[in-house]
Amino acid sequence: MTAKPWVAVIVPTKNSAAYLEGCLRSIKNQSYPNIELVVVDNKSTDNTSKIAKKYADKFFTHGPERSAQRNYGAKKSKSEYLLIIDSDMELNTEVVNNCVKKMMSEKTLRAIVIPEESFGEGFWAQCKKLERSFYIGIDWMEAARFFDRKVFEEFNGYDENNTGTEDYDLPQRIESKYGAKAIDRVKSLIRHNEQRLSLVKTCRKKFYYSQNLDVYSSVAANAGRYKKQSSPLRRYALFFSNPNKLFSDPLIGLGMLYMKSCEFAFGGAGYLINTLKNATK
């Protein structure tokens, strides 16, 4: 009988105490036995490290941003496969098991997409839940998180100059070389904890991450999907392609459209400001 390969689940953290325990507990509750849990913290000032050390097989401090933390965790792990998630995510119990089964059964695979759904408290979290539900099965809005270690190392992991769009960048570089058959998906879900999301918080996040869009968009492998991902018209067309879902609760539907419009506006402002800064250097 073939031994089950080991999987490193790598979780970067930064002041994640409010939701980290749910994430790490979901990893420990996986049905798959051979899991190496690696947490890489970026100098948290809350109880993140205390919570992480309670669950993690390996705990490190490293920065300066999420991409560097992920790569560091991968280097410090010994596993054959890598699953990269954020500290506000929780795994359904069969995620790792299903990813390993698929990876081992299809020899052309290098990476696997795990669909995501949102949950949280309050009006804006419900709006985000509705938005994310439109992205399941849409290849230009989903990103692989489960990798064969060899291909992860071949591409030097995540681009450490890229923050915010690195989730898309690495799988798209892999697909550019190995073709669409290199990436497949499972049905098991990642649940994304939006907590009590506010409109200000989500807009601030888009403003911050959009300032690195030039790094992402300049990579040839990203060009095609970047045009779709950055297009408000594409996004609204996707939402209105299923009006019954969009307006099953009219207030949530309208709120989601307003939220997305605000995110696009703040993202555009961040990108413009960064472009002007670079032009004056």
Query: In this predicted model, what pLDDT tens digit does every residue of 49-83 receive, in sequence order?
Result: 999 999 999 999 999 999 999 999 999 999 999 99
Can you give the pLDDT at residue 227?
Answer: 94
Closest residue by Cα to residue 190 from 95, 83, 55: 95
Query: In this predicted model, what pLDDT tens digit does every residue of 228-248 receive, in sequence order?
Result: 999 999 999 999 999 999 999
Q: Does the structure show a pLDDT above 80 at 281?
A: no
Q: Does the structure show a pLDDT above 60 at 95?
A: yes
% of the chain surpassing 90 pLDDT: 92
Cα–Cα distance for residue pair 217/223, rounded to 1 Å: 6
Alpha-helix residue ranges (DSSP H) falling in the chain: 20-28, 48-55, 66-76, 95-105, 123-133, 149-154, 166-178, 199-209, 213-217, 223-229, 232-240, 243-246, 250-279
Greater pLDDT, 215 or 177: 177
The full set of domains in the chain, from first to last, is: 7-279 (3.90.550.10)
Could you tell me the pTM of the whole model? 0.93
Q: Does the structure show a pLDDT above 80 at 31?
A: yes
Considering the chain, what is the average pLDDT of its residues?
Answer: 95
Can you give the pLDDT at residue 2?
Answer: 55
% of the chain surpassing 70 pLDDT: 99
